[in-house]
Structure 1
């Protein structure tokens, strides 16, 4: 028996790595898309912020972006736990 790994990750391209990561944890990809969406929305709303200072606007934007990513990852974790623990098939054991 050889000590060679079944798949050598050093040989994969960036696109292959992204595809593998999206299959392993799709909620991480959803979180990143949400992050990009919140940042894009913040860039759009920057001109209409009124009398709010830039530092306060950026702080609120940071909190919204982090909340989006943490929410997506929490929902993904809850989904995985429910799927593995509550909805598991007893026939496979």
Structure 2
């Protein structure tokens, strides 16, 4: 006889790879934002050697703002996509 305290452990049984794939299907723009963030940080570190007369702190602030811009933009697109799927693209019964 099942009780009210039964807990489904299926979400605890999945490994990191399958969890990442499942989350990417639910929110497709978040992995794009993560990839862009990584690319911007890598590009900023590459350009660190040839920054010229710019101070290190200013260079790092510009790099952080650019990375945050892409992440917030991707999150906004993802929210709009989720709203579209939930409210406008629902199949009519």
Please give the range of the TM-score, normalised by the shorter of the 2 chains: 0.7 to 0.9
Q: Distance in 2 between matches of 1:32 and 1:4?
A: 32
Structure 2 partner of 1:23: 25
Aligned length: 90
Indicate the residue corresponding to 1:61 in structure 2. 63
1: CA distance, partners of 2:82 / 2:11:
25
Mapped to 1, the partners of 2:82 and 2:7 lie a distance apart of 31
Structure 1 alignment gaps of length 5 or more: none
Out of 80, 90, 93, the residue aligned to residue 92 of structure 2 is 90
| RMSD value, Cα | 1.6
Higher fraction of helix: 1
The TM-score, its normalising length taken from structure 2, stands at: 0.83
